[in-house]
Structure 1
C-alpha cells in the first residue's frame, strides 16, 4: 500500500511505480511466485479505516507469512513521538488526518493468524516503528511479535529519499534490485537478515540513509526468494538425454602456458554459465565487464593476482581450486618467457599433433 499523490504534501510519483514493481516481483519467478490472488495493492487509500480494513482481512486469511509494505510520506506525532503514515488527505501538524502505525501493529497482534509477520516501511522517520534505542519499554517491545521482521527505510530521525527523476524511491529501488540480481557472495536464499545487511551497504555507498531492522526469533530467516547471484561450487549440467551431472571446472594443474592459462580462465566463465555482466555483479563491481572480457583474450599473463582471484571467486570456483590457480600463476610469472613464444608443434607417432600452442584449445574441445 502507498500514496503518491497528496492534497497538502509533496507528491511522490515513484511510489506508484514501487507498488506495481514490488507486487510483480513477489508474484514473479525471481521471488516468492505468489498467486496473484495472494497480493493486494492498495493505492491512494482515502481513509485510515480503508487501510486497516485491508490489513485486517489479509491478517485473517494468511496462515504462514504476512507481508505488509507501505511507501509514502511518514510524519511524527509530536506528542506521542510515534510514526504516522500519510494518506492522500493528510495535513502536516494534524495527526487525525494520518494513519498511526500503532493501529497496524494492533491488527498484527490481535487479528493475525499468520505465524510470521514482515513489515517493510519506505517512509521518512520509519525507524520510529522499531522504537528508539534509548527506549526501555513501550513501542519498541510492542512493535514486534513472534517470528517477525520489521525493515525501515530510515532511522527515526532521518528522512527517506525519493530522488527526482528516478523510477523508484531509493530504498525500494535497492530492494527490487536485490530481488532481481541477488546478493553476490550471499546465501542460496534471500533471507531478510541478509537482505537487510546488503541494503545497508548498498544504500550507504550511494549516499542514502541506511535502513534499520528489528527481528524476533526466526524472523530474519524468512526468505523473499532465491538468490540469483548464488552459484554452487559444482555447477550442474543437464545432458541431452536428460541426465543430470556435474560440469567440471578447468583443471589449473594441466595449464602449461600463458595462453593456456588465459584460455582456461575464459572456460571457467563458460562452465559457470554466467554472463560477463553477471560475473561483474557477483564481484560487487570490483571487476568490470571489460576487464572480464580481456582476461579471457589476453596474450600475456595478468600482471597481478588480485584481479584473477576476484574473477574466480565471482564465477564460483571453490577456494581450494583458486589456490591452485594462484600457484600456476606464480609459476608462469616466474618464467622468463611467460608471454608464450609459440614454439613449433611436434608430431608424435601416429600423427597426433601436440604442442604448447594447442593447450589453449583443450578446454574448448572438451566443453
Structure 2
C-alpha cells in the first residue's frame, strides 16, 4: 500500500552547493533548495514542519553536512530524505564524491564521500530512507559500476530508494538561465502539477518513470533509480492531476469510490494523526462548512477547523468519528482510526509518566530544617558589626 510519511516522525536534509572556489558556479542549486523545502512542507505533500526540513546551503566542511544528517537519522522513525545538489566527482576507486564549496577538481578527496552519507543514513532508525542525488555521475551511488551483485547490494542503503539525476558515466545538467537544475526542475513540476492519468499518490516509482519520460523527451540526462524492499510505495505527495477537488460547498464527490482513504495504521505521532485527517478532508472534496452540514450537526464548522489545525491529539473521541463519517469514510475504517487514536493516547500517557520522577524520589524540606534556617537568618539580621 502506498503511504505518505508521518510528518512528525519524518525528517529531510536538503544539501546544496551553488558557490565554489575552484569549480563552475551552479546558481540554480540555490533555487532548488528553497523550492524543494517549500514543497515538502506544503499540505499537499509531506506537511513537514520547517524544523523537520533542514537546509544546508554551501557548507564549509564535511562535518557540517554529516552533523545534520546524523541528527536527522537519529530523530526520524518513519522516513528520512537526504537530497544533494551540486557537482559530483569520481575518485581513483571509482567512488562518488560530493563536491563542497572548497573542493578542488584536481583533489577529488577534498569532497564528501557518498559512502559517508550512506553509512549515516543506514545507521539511523527510520523505517524508510530516500536519497536523491542531483549531480554528475550520481548513478555511481546505485552500485552500477560495482561489478558483482554482492557489491551492488552493498552500495545501496537497505530499505531505501535512491534516485540519481544521471548515470554513473553521465553529467547532470544545469541549463543557463533556468531557475532550477534540469532534474530538480522536472521533479518540482511533477510535485506541483501532478502526473496526468497517474496514481492518486505520487509514489516514488511513478515519479521516477515520469521523470525518465519527461527528461528523455527534452533530450536531457535520464535519471536512474534503485529500490530496496517496499520503499517504492512511499509517496512524495498527492497527485494534483488525480480527480481534481470539488468547488467549495459541493456536497460530495461523485468519484469517491475511486479514491483510497488515508490509512491511520502507520501514524506514529499526533502531528501525523492531524495531517492524515487533513488528507481525509482534501480527498472528500468538501469544504469545512459542507463537512459540518453532512454530519447533521454532530460537529460544527468551527469544530472542523479546530480539529484540523490543532497541534495535539484530541483528548476525546467524539469529534473525530463525526468528522470522518461526514467526509464519507466507511465505518470499518473509522474503527481503524479509533484504534490508532487509542494507541497514540496510551503512548502519550506512557511517555508523560516516564518523564515524571517516582513520588518517593521527590524530597521536601523537613519542617525542622526550615525552622532552623529561619532562626539562623533572624540572628544574622540582629547581629551588629564589631
Q: Do the structures match in fold with TM over 0.5?
A: yes
Match of 2:141 among 109, 129, 137: 129
Name which structure has the greater RCO, CA cutoff 8 Å, separation 6+: 2
Gaps of 5+ in 1: 248-272, 274-367
**Which residues in structure 2 correspond to 1:154-169 (within 5 Å)?**
154-169=166-181
Partner of residue 75, structure 1 = 89
C-alpha deviation, 1:231, in angstroms: 1.7
Match status 1:46 vs 2:60? yes
Match of 1:86 among 99, 118, 123: 99
**Which residues in structure 2 correspond to 1:1-20 (within 5 Å)?**
1-20=15-34
Tell whether the 8 Å contact from 2:122 to 2:158 is kept in structure 1 after alignment: no
Partner of residue 207, structure 2 = 195
Tell whether the 8 Å contact from 1:9 to 1:92 is kept in structure 2 after alignment: yes
Distance 2:37 2:99 in 1: 21
Distance 2:198 2:134 in 1: 24
Distance 1:27 1:147 in 2: 24
Distance 1:139 1:15 in 2: 31
4+ long deviations beyond 4 Å = 235-240
C-alpha deviation, 1:138, in angstroms: 5.7
Gaps of 5+ in 2: 1-14, 256-284, 286-386
Distance 2:89 2:200 in 1: 37
Match status 1:104 vs 2:112? no
Distance 1:139 1:8 in 2: 33
Closer, same or farther: CA 7–245 of 1 in aligned 2, 3 Å: closer
Distance 2:178 2:248 in 1: 41
**Which residues in structure 2 correspond to 1:289-308 (within 5 Å)?**
none
Distance 1:245 1:61 in 2: 38
Distance 1:154 1:206 in 2: 14
Closer, same or farther: CA 158–199 of 1 in aligned 2, 3 Å: same
**Which residues in structure 2 correspond to 1:155-304 (within 5 Å)?**
155-231=167-243, 243-244=251-252, 246=254
Partner of residue 325, structure 2 = none
Partner of residue 300, structure 1 = none
Tell whether the 8 Å contact from 2:17 to 2:30 is kept in structure 1 after alignment: yes
RMSD over aligned Cα atoms: 2.0
Match status 1:114 vs 2:158? no
C-alpha deviation, 1:148, in angstroms: 0.7
Distance 2:237 2:151 in 1: 30
Partner of residue 344, structure 1 = none
C-alpha deviation, 1:147, in angstroms: 2.5
After superposition, give the CA deviation of every residue in 1:182-202 in whole Å (9 maximum; x if it has no partner).
Answer: 001110000000000000000
Closer, same or farther: CA 238–162 of 1 in aligned 2, 3 Å: closer
After superposition, give the CA deviation of every residue in 1:223-281 in whole Å (9 maximum; x if it has no partner).
Answer: 0000001128xx867756xx43538xxxxxxxxxxxxxxxxxxxxxxxxx9xxxxxxxx
After superposition, give the CA deviation of every residue in 1:95-138 in whole Å (9 maximum; x if it has no partner).
Answer: 3310000111111222x010100000000000000012672146
TM-score (norm: length of structure 1): 0.63
**Which residues in structure 2 correspond to 1:20-31 (within 5 Å)?**
20-31=34-45
C-alpha deviation, 1:31, in angstroms: 1.5
Tell whether the 8 Å contact from 2:90 to 2:96 is kept in structure 1 after alignment: yes
Distance 1:245 1:15 in 2: 40
C-alpha deviation, 1:49, in angstroms: 1.3
Partner of residue 108, structure 2 = 95
Distance 2:249 2:90 in 1: 60
